[in-house]
Structure 1
Amino acid sequence: MGVNWAHWKKKLECPKDEDAYYENTTWCNRDLIPIPPERRTFGVWSYFGYWTVSGSCISAWSTGSTLLAFGLSPQQAIGVVILGGFLTGLLAVACGWMGEVHHIGFTVASRFSWGMRGSYFPVILRIFVSCMWFGMQAFWGGQATRVMFGAIIPGLAHMPNYFSESSHLMTNDFIGLVIWMCLFVPGVLIRPEKLQIPFVICFFFFAGTCIGCLAWSVSQAGGAGKMFTEPGSTPNVGWSFMFGITAILGAWGAGTLGQSDWTRYASRRFAPTLSQLVAAPITIAITAIIGIIVTSAARDVLGGDVIWNPIYLLAAIQEHYSSSSRARAGVFFASLGCVSSQFSISVVLNSVSCGMDMAGICPKYINIRRGGYIMAAIGIATQPWQLLSTATKFLSVLSGFGVFMAPATGVMLADYHIVRKAKLKVNELYIGDSSSIYWFRQGFNWRAFAAFTIGMWPLLPGLVGTVNAYEGPSWTGWVRLYNLTFLVGVAMSFVSFWALSYFFPVSGLGLEAPFVEDGVIHGATETTENDSQAGEKQPPMEVSDKV
């Protein structure tokens, strides 16, 4: 008896809601449609919770304290994180506007700028960045798990390493990573609209870690520590300051670019705006400042080098007090905050957004959940422990992301806010043939690719010079331009796209239409390649009056 491949192919398709008013097609599934009113569950406080998770995390702590290792003084580093957090909030508002208004995420929004087929490029680009970022977050989560269990079982903390030194991976870290991944996998099953409670729980756990570490370090050192009053060691404060801002914007760049992935769940207009303008910069800045103070004070208490990662700091505290029961209890609860923070940020900021991007690649068979699992496999395969082996390399990696995220951000902002003036025919974002105004030429908008290239290419030589530590007059200018990655990349691609759209205007500007129009769902049917080339589409699917 032969295998019924058609039956199993149908079984593998993404599930649909009961009484669904859409079909799983090349361009559409449950996670890609504009969010219907019953799923818009995020209010003002929900978005404050979102930004406490996004801004109050190990990444924010480490970004601020790593600036000390890069040569900035504590006061200069604080200035960097405050300004960087404020700019992050502004970008979040601008990038999230289409989610509030049209209730679509980044994956679908890319189609009106890049073309229906061209949208695969920014989506794949963000998938790559998300997978890399998840790998880093998962590795930190594994280390935090190792420290937490090492507080209960001191033998785990002192386990001999059976891996080679060049791998930058310890055996106990690997064990912690396996345990953390076992905790993460079920978290992907939580639907995005149901994540408000996990926001709050994880924030309070990590806030307790920050306050506890701050209280311990300041009380033991008798203040913020000697390093807090020392001048910076960098020879050029101005460019180092800008490099720090670039690192912060690069770290949160992918999140701000895809901010509409979350603002589309807004229960009313402007619900996300206050948290983006207030909670985003405050939580990023406060967490980083706490990290800077603790790093400075802990050096006086523990002696030795600057410990810029809170997980390493907790392990060092346990060693400093010879694994006493009191120290192990404190380290356990502090590590619990780090574990929960990594869990929440990986589910909220990586799994959901990357899962939706992967759903955009193959909507029939990939949804947010399935995409989250694919992201997890790829993220671990990138060997993030190699990227995070030193503080300097960590900053270089974060800044390197901005080379590609910044031009993509500039293209989207120019097209949506300036060229289209926030007006979209949402129904035609789900039509994969030439009858859609977003089909452009063969499914590609060449203006977006040109503007992206213009915004990206000047930054590549500086990226190469920075990562490879090239020196000399011939590299100085390129490296300094690269230090302004996000600002330069956004500005150049923004202006370029605006100019190209002015001299080579596209059709359909000023037109608006909803996803559901006159009882008809547009984009709900599959189109074949022949239909696409001929510019024909199947009749739309009618729906009941209740939709």
Structure 2
Amino acid sequence: MLVSPQDIRWLFVAKALIVPVAWLAMLIWAFVKVPATSGFFVQHSTLTGSRLSWAWLSSLNAALGLYSTLAVNIPDFTRYAKDERAQYVQLAIIPVAFTLCGFIGMAVTSVGIVLYNRVLWDPLHLVDQWDNRAAAFFASLAFALATLGTNVSANSLSAANDMTVLAPRYINLRRGQVICAILGGWALCPWEILASAQGFLSFMNGYTVFLGPFAGIMVSDVCHVHVSPLRFYPSFRRAQYWLVHRGKVDVPAMYQPHGRYRYTYGFNWRAVLAIIMSVPPTFPGLIRSINPKIKIGGAEFLFDVAWMFGFCVASIVYSTTSLLFPARRTFMEQPIISDEILDDANEVEKPSNRSLT
């Protein structure tokens, strides 16, 4: 909280260098302790038929929930990039890294079952069983660094950015992070979420009820009011807001509370309708995940695919209503970029060509 986001890159560089080494070391330890030929994965699903299919979809949805926060708050970090090419590395790294993390988690947990006769799905509980105190210390240190970096990127800074938009007069980034620490660290009792694997997965599924629709609307059209003192970066030059405005956006107006993207009293009714159509249908499943005694019938299966359902429904509803009932003030013949960028590129446009009302 005391370090500016522009200066915190060192933390993520350290995380990128240290944490993967710890993961791979644990995977090597697992293969040495229990070779794959001697029965590596000792637990198998007892589900069959449609129950197995829905359980698989539920697990996929939980995995999506784990990373759905970054899917919607990644602009909180890409705004600091030098250009849009800086993010392309994610196309290669993210699928490989996420797949490797998932496999290491399954492999190491399976070894824990063989060695300790317990399902130690939390790696810190597994590390606690080691006899080598030095190895346990360095592994725990790596996981502490991973936890810190993940919370800074996925929770602290993103929540602080949202709070600055809600009350820019009273909340800055540092104050927003303090509020997030108080709410997320104590008021919401996060230790209850981590009490069991099932509770953790249910919480991850609960995330997807809201974040899936948010992502669908953002992919369709991310033009919205965002008050920020930050300068406009060249990464907006070839930004593609795919379905509705097709990249023809007014970047400075995104930072103006009463600009062309204010819509109706600050609300875009098309986005509101998309949320109404996509979020409530999955609510019964969310309620049952909190209290399994509540019977909701077949609605629980919709909750198992909440992210995919919300993403698809929200994007379809928002795109359809935006094209059938367009907010004409927001459509332009050419994109409008900040004057600073235009001057740097010697591409200053005439005022008459800047917008189509």
TM-score (norm 1): 0.55
* CA positional deviation for 1:362: 2.0
In 1: Cα distance, 2:216 partner to 2:291 partner: 27
Contact 1:224–1:297 (CA<8 Å) still a contact in 2? no
Alignment of 1:218-229 (within 5 A): 218-223=31-36, 226=39, 228=41
Tell me what 2:316 maps to: 495
CA displacement at 1:462 relative to structure 2: 1.9
Hey, what's the Cα distance between the residues in 2 that align with 1:349 and 1:337?
18
| Counterpart amino acid of residue 429 in structure 1 | M
- CA apart distance, 1:207: 2.2
Q: Secondary structure at the match of 2:263?
A: coil
Q: Describe how 1:102-501 pairs up with structure 2 within 5 A.
A: 188-223=1-36, 226=39, 228=41, 230-235=43-48, 236-275=51-90, 277-303=91-117, 305-317=118-130, 321=131, 327-380=132-185, 381-415=187-221, 416-433=241-258, 436-470=259-293, 475=297, 477-501=298-322
Is the contact made by 2:42 and 2:114 (CA closer than 8 Å) also made in structure 1? no
Gaps of 5+ in 1: 1-187, 322-326, 520-547
For the residues of structure 1 that align with 2:37 and 2:219, how far apart are their CA atoms?
Answer: 41
Q: Deviations over 1:52-102 (max 9, x none)?
A: xxxxxxxxxxxxxxxxxxxxxxxxxxxxxxxxxxxxxxxxxxxxxxxxxxx
Cα distance in 2, alignment partners of residues 479 and 237 from structure 1 = 15
Change (3 A) 1:234 1:391: farther
- 1:445: Cα distance to partner? 1.3
Indicate conservation of the 8 Å contact 1:226/1:297, yes or no.
no
8 Å CA contact retained: 2:164, 2:171: yes
Please report how far the alpha carbon of residue 266 of structure 1 lies from its aligned counterpart in structure 2 after TM superposition: 2.2
Query: How far apart are residue 225 of structure 1 and its match?
Result: 6.3
Superposition CA RMSD, Å: 2.3
Contact 2:34 2:40 in 1 (8 A): no
Q: CA 1:342–1:462 in 2, change beyond 3 Å: closer, same or farther?
A: same
Task: Name 2:235's counterpart in structure 1.
Answer: none
**What is the match of residue 352 of structure 2?**
none
Shift of the alpha carbon at 1:237? 1.9
Aligned mates of 2:46, 2:40 — CA distance in 1? 11
- Normalising by structure 2, we get a TM-score of 0.82
- Separation (CA, whole Å) in 1 of partners of 2:41 and 2:249: 51
After the TM superposition, list the runs of 4 or more consecutive aligned residues in structure 1 that deviate by more than 4 angstroms. Answer: none
Counterpart Cα distance in 2 of 1:230 and 1:351:
37
Q: How many residues align?
A: 319
1: CA distance, partners of 2:34 / 2:202: 31
Measure the CA separation in 1 of the matches of 2:217 and 2:41. Answer: 41
Q: Secondary structure of 1:418's partner?
A: coil
